[in-house]
Amino acid sequence: MARTPRHVFVPAWWEVKDGRWELRVPVNEHHWRPAAYADRSLVTRVGALHADRAKPDDHPTGRPTSSASLPSLVVRLFQHARIDDGVQLLNVGTGSGYGTALAAHRLGADAVTSIDIDPYLVDAARDRLATIGLRPTVEAVDGTGPLPEKFGQFDRIVATVAVRTVPAGWLAVLRTGGRLVTTIAGTSLILTADKRADGAAVGRVEWDGAGFMHARHGDNYPPGSSALLAAAHEIDGEDIATGRYPVIDIANAWDLDSMLGITAPGIEHAYLDEGHRRIAVMAHADGS
């Protein structure tokens, strides 16, 4: 980590201010360095608009679609993968390229392949990796589908995007005895699994948690129930049922959120703290 300049990979990002996304392009090192080297995620793409391509007066709408994950989380995933000398690694979800850079410094660039569905992210990450002397294989590929035969086999697969089920393509390129690490979409659960000789992979949910964006299959996520959540901010107080128990911000209560993500997938959450009352809204694309 000490040899990997994170600021190279995050020259601009998005932050929420007063309920809308605003561009952050630091004008000097005094503003840039604290954000770039803080242990937090930096959102780099909202909807279809990447911060690199945005103008100061742009205010995109929609869900975040790419970010530079917080460094400690990336390292934890590599630890769960039991990264060691001599392994060949597939990183699913290039994003900013920072995680790929960490892996390339640890294993050597020739041992690392990184893929992302977004061609712009791939090109930008490849260029930024080259500026610090790293040239791993970085290509635009849908990581949830069949993977190119030219990639060969891997000893480790680490995904920094969340999937609902483990793609068959991952098992096809994972060597027997190899290990995969991913998060289950709609939950904060980290799954590790080792491939057996019969082609299956068996593992466990780790005593750890992580939140990653869902794997995309195109330029943006399909429309969800976000309109319902937006309408919830205008809801009349008389229409809200009250109770004697504390109202939970479910999206940040990871154990509860994970339970709901398994038993009732597809819920989106909103949480409003108005000082004198707290309102939790749960909305689903089916209208409930």
Domain boundaries, the chain: 6-68, 71-209, 226-283
Other C-beta atoms closer than 10 Å to the C-beta of 205 total 13
* Residues annotated catalytic, as ranges: 69
Q: pLDDT averaged over consecutive 10-residue blocks of the chain (288 residues)?
A: 92 88 82 86 93 93 89 96 96 96 97 96 97 97 93 97 94 97 92 96 92 82 60 59 81 88 86 80 80
> Homologous superfamily of 71-209 in CATH?
Vaccinia Virus protein VP39 (3.40.50.150)
- C-alpha–C-alpha distance, residues 199 and 169, integer Å: 12
How much is the pLDDT for 228? 55
Angle between helices 71-80 and 98-107 (to 10 degrees): 50
CB-count exposure of residue 224 (10 Å: 0-12, 13-18, 19+): middle
How much is the pLDDT for 264? 87
Q: Read off the DSSP letter of residue 157.
A: E
- C-alpha–C-alpha distance, residues 108 and 88, integer Å: 10
How much is the pLDDT for 288? 80
- Residue owning tokens 């060969």: 152
Radius of gyration of the chain (CA): 20
Please calculate the CA angle 215-5-67 and round it to the nearest 5 degrees: 20
Token reading at 55: 């103008």
- C-alpha–C-alpha distance, residues 136 and 128, integer Å: 11
How much is the pLDDT for 227? 55
- Among residues 93, 241, 220, the alpha carbon closest in space to that of 157 is found at 93
Q: With the CA atoms of 219, 220, 223 and 225 taken in that order, what torsion angle do they form, in degrees rounded to the nearest 10?
A: 170
**CA 200 to the chain's CA centroid:** 25
Which segments of the chain are extended strands (E)?
A: 13-17, 20-24, 42-46, 49-50, 64-68, 89-92, 112-116, 137-140, 154-163, 174-184, 189-195, 201-209, 268-273, 278-283
The one-letter amino acid at 212? F
